[in-house]
Amino acid sequence: MTTRLDKRFFNSTRGRIVALLRGTTKTVNELAEELELTDNAVRAHLLSLERDGLVAQSGLQKGTRKPHFAYELTPDADKIFPKAYDALINQLITVLKQRLAPPELEDVLHEVGRLLAGNQPSAGDLNNRAKKAVSALEALGGSARLEKVEGTLVISSGSCPLAAAVAEHPEVCQVAEALLSQIVGAKVQERCSRENTPRCRFEIVSPG
């Protein structure tokens, strides 16, 4: 589970447990005391959080009568906490647009996309490379899929991983365009929808 959750989650009992475990470990007894719940109620919530991959046992702590299991957050749990990245990206793009001419800004955004792609070799046929590009877009936070529309391979996503930035700066789509182009090893054309909820759409131009 890697998707950032909304405020309703953190207002729930499970969300409060996750918040209490951030940066520390606690036993069932300690959580029950802080939440003013029974031990059994806390165990039920912890079991659910374990199934979701957010919480795991981290060993034993000494107790007055017997040791107690301690719980901690998993690495995936950190991804659900709100981040300041959206505001940071928006401000950064605003400054870049003030200081750079449009062609220079485009070059910078494309370079960022290529760097995000890393040194992934363009191996395999076009379809397999496109599948790797889909995985890369999903890693950024999109819900991407690959489909063929009238003979053209299209990578689309109902949720834009850069939606908060794209709403103010449509140019940010060029980062994803360059990322996908680098992995696919062919020209990728951005055809995203930015009305209401931004949605990704990238068409792969087959070589030749």
pLDDT digits (tens, 9 = 90+) for 56-110: 998 777 655 667 889 999 888 877 776 667 788 889 999 999 999 999 999 999 9
Amino acid at 172: V
Does residue 3 surpass a pLDDT of 80? no
204 forms beta bridges with: 188
What is the arithmetic mean of pLDDT over 176-189?
93
State the pLDDT at residue 115: 93
State the pLDDT at residue 155: 94
CB count within 10 Å of CB 8 equals 8
Q: Please give the domain boundaries of the chain with CATH numbers for all domains.
A: 7-80 (1.10.10.10), 85-204 (3.30.1380.20)
Confidence of residue 199 (pLDDT cuts 50, 70, 90): confident
Confidence of residue 2 (pLDDT cuts 50, 70, 90): very low
Q: Which residues contact 24 (CB under 8 A, 6 or more apart)?
A: 72
Lowest mean pLDDT among 115-119, 133-137, 147-151, 171-175: 115-119
Distance CA 146, CA 155 (A): 5
